[in-house]
Amino acid sequence: MEYYRDEWKLAIIPEKKLNAILISAGIAGLATGIALRQSGHHVTILEQVLDIAEVGAGIQMPPNSTRILARWEVLDKLSEHINFMEANSLRSWKDDTELGRVLLMPGVADHYGAPLGVIHGGDLQRILLAAAVKSGCEIRTNHKVVKVDDNFEARIQLLNGEWMEGDVVIAADGIKSVIRNQIAAAHKHLDRATPTGDAAYRFMIPKENMSNNKEALNLMSTKIGMRWLDAGGHIVAYPVKNAAYNMVPIHPGKT
């Protein structure tokens, strides 16, 4: 790939091959599975849904992430869906005047040796899923994990009552993680997110909904991220998949 350069080579031969059980076939679980397989371990990924579908919104991908994806030999495939952003335009929320511009590509890739871009989360998950299967990860859908061993041994229980055991269990099941909640409760800790003081709302506008709005279509046709700024909040926006415009308004919030 034209934006990528990396001479990192390291043959990883584990002293002991582990049997790893990963909970959830989301982006984190699939990425962890690929890394473990490339390190020589056996991986079983348990996903609670029957059919893994494309979900999510826009995701920003900085050079440290695209470099790892290149080492996993998936960046070329992902590049078909990544928008490599040329700049971020910082703008006034009042009258849309440009206050400044931060140049990104190709300068970022020249400096770090890996590109920066944005992608739809569904595309990233789908390609990681294919790469995980190709690497030898065993994906088991319709396998909902409800409990971990009371002594936190590497054993988990499924919804159907079956127990599974490995050498290590990795909970990659997100902010509402069943396993993290159980571990927190065992330590008399309330598992809840810590408020940041900001609230963010994510949504995507399909390109077809912009067909009668020339200004909106112009936003879709560029590789420029927009940042509309106010003293109390801002909006992050950029096109993804050449099919939708991703927007994230952020403002002060208590939760």
Task: Report which of residues 31 and 5 the model is more confident about.
Answer: 31
Q: Give 84-123 pLDDT, tens digit per residue.
A: 999 999 999 999 999 999 999 999 999 999 999 999 999 9
Of 150, 167, 186, which closes a domain?
A: 186
Q: Percent of the chain beyond pLDDT 90?
A: 72
Whether residue 247 contacts residue 233, with contact meaning beta carbons closer than 8 Å, is answered with no
User: Is 51 inside any structural domain?
Assistant: yes
Block residue for tokens 């002293």: 15
What residues contact residue 202 under an 8 Å CB cut-off, 6+ apart? Answer: 57, 58, 246, 247, 248
202 is annotated as an active-site residue: yes
The whole-number pLDDT of residue 178 equals: 87
What is the rounded average pLDDT of the residues 222-247? 92
Which residue range forms the structural domain that includes residue 149? 19-80+119-186
Pair 200, 76 in one domain? no
What residues contact residue 37 under an 8 Å CB cut-off, 6+ apart? Answer: 43, 132, 135, 136, 137
* Range from 45-54, 78-87, 107-116 carrying the lowest mean pLDDT: 45-54
Block residue for tokens 């569904």: 122
- Joined together, the tokens standing for residue 63 give 């050079």
Q: Give 54-68 pLDDT, tens digit per residue.
A: 777 899 999 999 999
- Joined together, the tokens standing for residue 174 give 């997100």
Residue 30 has pLDDT above 90, yes or no: yes
Pair 160, 246 in one domain? no
Q: Give 150-168 pLDDT, tens digit per residue.
A: 888 999 999 999 999 999 9
CA–CA separation, 243 and 137 (whole Å):
31
CA–CA separation, 9 and 223 (whole Å):
32
Given 37, 192, 202, 227, the catalytic residue:
202
The whole-number pLDDT of residue 10 equals: 67
CA–CA separation, 194 and 202 (whole Å):
19
Of 144, 163, 186, which closes a domain?
A: 186
Residue 193 has pLDDT above 90, yes or no: no
Overall number of domains in the chain: 2
Q: What is the pTM of this model?
A: 0.90
Q: Percent of the chain beyond pLDDT 70?
A: 97
The whole-number pLDDT of residue 53 equals: 82
Pair 38, 147 in one domain? yes
Residue 6 has pLDDT above 80, yes or no: no
- Number of Cβ within a 10 Å radius of residue 127: 19
Pair 25, 148 in one domain? yes
User: Is 3 inside any structural domain?
Assistant: no
Chain mean position to CA 67: 14
What is the rounded average pLDDT of the residues 160-189? 92
Whether residue 236 contacts residue 227, with contact meaning beta carbons closer than 8 Å, is answered with yes
The whole-number pLDDT of residue 13 equals: 79
Q: Rounded to the nearest 5°, which phi and psi values hold at 152?
A: 60, 35
